[in-house]
Amino acid sequence: MNFFESCNIACDGERCPKCGRKKLRAVTDEDFCLVARVDRNFGDCLKDRLENEKIDCVLMPYGTGVRSKFALPLESYLLYVRYQNSEYVRQIIQETKADIF
Ligand SMILES: [Zn+2]
C-alpha cells in the first residue's frame, strides 16, 4: 500500500487518486489516512467513540466555500485515522451514510 503525504491518502496505485500526482511512498501504520466524509453529528459521536477506544482520529471541517465565508456551521468533516486503524474505522462507518474513501 502506498501513501501520498500532501493529500493523506493511502492507495494501491502509483498515483494519488485525489490529485493524480505520483510522489507516493510506502504507507506506515502511523500515517493518518483519509477514510471518509461524515456529517457533523455523526463525526462528533464517532470521535467520542474512537477516543474511548484509544484510537487517534482527526476531523477536518469540510463544507462549501459560501458557508465558510458566512461563518455558518460546516456540514461535514473529513475523517482521518492512522493507517493501522483505517480498516476497523471503515467497518464502523460502513452502515452509515458517510462517503467512505
Ligand atoms: Zn493527492
pLDDT at 40: 87
CB 35 within 8 A of CB 48: no
pLDDT at 64: 60
Cα(82) to centroid(ligand 1), Å = 17
The residue-averaged pLDDT of 36-50 equals 92
- Give the chain's domain count: 1
The residue-averaged pLDDT of 52-58 equals 97
b/e per residue 68-82 (b: at least 16 CB within 10 A): eeeeeeeebbbbbbb
pLDDT at 56: 97
Residue 52's domain comprises: 2-100
Cα(52) to centroid(ligand 1), Å = 31
Indicate the helix (H) or strand (E) that contains 26: strand 25-26
Cα(10) to centroid(ligand 1), Å = 10
The residue-averaged pLDDT of 56-66 equals 81
Cα(13) to centroid(ligand 1), Å = 12
pLDDT at 6: 94
